[in-house]
């Protein structure tokens, strides 16, 4: 809105100065000056009320239905550059807010333009003539001013459109990330884990292993140290297991909920998968926190091959792993087992 309003004000100023230079008549200078004042008043009104859409339509109505027809008769009619301004008026109107008011104003503007042409054609004496010497000046200055205005306005609109596309693309990417990742740890959430298992792993089950880990005694830490520190512990454990997924490349690491993590890894053998799980368990034992130096964390884990014949779908696989982890974790913590 402000770019369009500024361009209209500048064009109005140049048009008024050009009319005074060409000595066409007092009417053209007065009309141009009045319109420039109206633009200023309308700008103040829009700034105070934030009614930008109605202000844009009012500005277009002033330009198309008052300023341009009056200047057409006062500045030489068909012998001047005023028909170019008519096209510019339609361009300004096309950039206005969508709605029935815009369409009605477009039809009325066309009717006013056609009526202006008809009056100038059948009653040429109502048109103030322009001297031959001034035709070149009028055409040249008008072409330069309108050309610059259209160029600036078009460039601004295209850049705004490109920025909007980039913002929408970034927003979609952000929403997609939030839909697939846990807000606390930043790891994949359970929904993305199920999609990964169903769309990737289950198509080629051989070579994939699933490891589920549980952070031990997190409830006691939450009760004694508070929820914020327990969340910090979960995040630090998530950071470690996330690094394991990055090392594997193309693997999925997810926060399963509560204090459980899942790592879907690619390995050549069960021994390699168990070794990676054991390495993660050992790294967790070395975690420490300056504010609570006496706190030590351990994890328990279950590793199984996704190619096991006892699993008919991904849900059954996860349920089996979760059940075994709960069973063995109640017997012996800080261990990695296979099933």
The pLDDT value given to residue 19: 62
Per-residue model confidence as pLDDT tens digits over 31-73: 667 777 777 787 888 778 878 788 888 888 887 888 778 878 8
Q: Assign 26 a pLDDT band (cuts: 50, 70, 90).
A: low
Q: Alpha-carbon distance 158 to 168, whole Å?
A: 15
What would the mean pLDDT of 289-299 be, rounded to a whole number? 90
Per-residue model confidence as pLDDT tens digits over 235-271: 999 999 988 766 556 789 999 988 899 999 998 899 9
User: Using an 8 Å Cβ cutoff, are 185 and 234 in contact?
Assistant: yes
φ and ψ at residue 281, rounded to 5 degrees: -60, -40
CA angle 191, 196, 198 (to 5 degrees): 95
Residue by residue, DSSP assigns 24-83 as --HHHHHHHHHHHHHHHHHHHHHHHH--HHHHHHHHHHHIIIIIHHHHHHHTTGGGTTHH
Q: Alpha-carbon distance 137 to 146, whole Å?
A: 14
């Amino acid at each position: 809105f402000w770019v369009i309003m500024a361009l209209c004000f500048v064009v109005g100023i140049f048009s008024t100065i050009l009319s005074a230079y060409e000595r066409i008549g007092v009417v053209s200078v007065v009309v141009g000056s009045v319109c420039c004042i109206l633009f200023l008043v309308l700008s103040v009104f829009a700034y105070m009320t934030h009614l930008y859409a109605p202000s844009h339509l009012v500005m277009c109505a002033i330009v198309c239905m008052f300023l341009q027809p009056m200047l057409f008769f006062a500045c030489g009619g068909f012998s001047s550059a005023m028909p170019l301004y008519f096209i510019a008026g339609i361009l300004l109107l096309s950039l206005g807010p969508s709605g029935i008011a815009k369409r009605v104003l477009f039809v009325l503007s066309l009717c006013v333009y056609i009526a202006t042409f008809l009056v100038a054609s059948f009653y040429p004496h109502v048109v103030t003539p322009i001297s031959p010497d001034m035709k070149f000046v009028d055409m040249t200055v008008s072409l330069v001013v309108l050309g610059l205005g259209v160029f600036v306005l078009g460039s601004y609109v295209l850049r705004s459109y490109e920025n909007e596309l980039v913002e929408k693309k970034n927003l979609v990417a952000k929403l997609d990330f939030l839909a697939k990742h846990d807000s606390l740890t930043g790891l994949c959430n359970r929904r993305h884990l199920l999609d990964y298992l169903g769309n990737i792993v289950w198509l080629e089950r051989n070579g994939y292993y699933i490891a589920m880990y549980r952070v031990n005694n997190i409830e006691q830490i939450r009760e004694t140290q508070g929820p914020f520190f327990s969340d910090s512990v979960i995040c630090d454990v998530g950071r470690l297991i996330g690094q394991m997924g990055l090392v594997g490349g193309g693997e999925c690491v997810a926060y399963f909920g509560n204090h459980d993590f899942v790592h879907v890894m690619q390995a050549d053998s069960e021994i390699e998968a168990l070794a990676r799980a054991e390495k993660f368990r050992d790294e967790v034992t070395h975690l420490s926190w300056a504010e609570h130096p006496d706190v030590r964390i351990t994890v328990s884990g279950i590793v199984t091959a996704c190619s096991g014949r006892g699993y008919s779908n991904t849900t059954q696989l996860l349920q089996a792993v979760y059940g075994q982890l709960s069973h063995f974790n109640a017997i012996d913590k800080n261990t990695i087992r296979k099933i």
